[in-house]
Amino acid sequence: MALAFSEESRRALDEMRSEFPDPGSLLIPALQLAQSDFGHLSYEVLQYVAAELEVPVSTAAGVATFYHNLFTQEHGRHVINICRTLPCALAGSGEVASRFEELLGIRMGETTPDGLITLRWVECLACCGTGPAVQIDFRYYEAFSPEQCEGVVAALRAGEIPPGYTAVPGGEP
């Protein structure tokens, strides 16, 4: 079946066209809408978005693979991104990852069998001075310790937002 944006996304996209007259500038919001509609940005979805905006599919793929909040692979309902860049690695992001792996019974890059949680390595999350940095569903958790992992998993399993986050790196909790 041919892909099509939901009515809501179509409306949002049409509204944004006047705000972002250059199709290249519209690419990120269009990919976010597509991800929301289709779950992840498969090659077929990238082709669809690229055709919509009349940009090369390679441009859409370049953007989709650059930003860690755009997913080209299937993922769980919640995504735990752990920074592995040097400052966070030195601050202990490896220990955080190991604890999550142990609690969830999966390895980095995998999703729990119930589809609830995906664990991913990412590069710098822009919290280098307060590592290890973890991002859970677009929220930032700085100076994260392995002892916090259990509470995060329990909160996500209960359908709650794990406490202690900021909306932006270095922001107010």
The correct pick among 46, 112, 131, 153 for binding ligand FES (CB under 6 A) is 131
Partners of 140 in beta bridges? 135, 166
Tell me if 133 contacts ligand FES by CB under 6 A: yes
Q: Closest Cα to residue 138, out of 35, 69, 44, 37?
A: 69
- Name which of 35 and 81 has its Cβ closer to ligand FES: 81
The correct pick among 87, 92, 94, 164 for binding ligand FES (CB under 6 A) is 87
Tell me if 80 contacts ligand FES by CB under 6 A: no
36 phi/psi in degrees, rounded to 5: -65, -40
How many of the chain's residues bind ligand FES (CB under 6 A)? 11
CA-atom Rg of the chain in angstroms: 17
Binders in 19-58 for ligand FES, by CB under 6 A: none
Q: Closest Cα to residue 28, out of 79, 66, 82, 83?
A: 66
- Residues within the interface to ligand FES (CB under 6 A): 83, 85, 87-88, 124-128, 131, 133
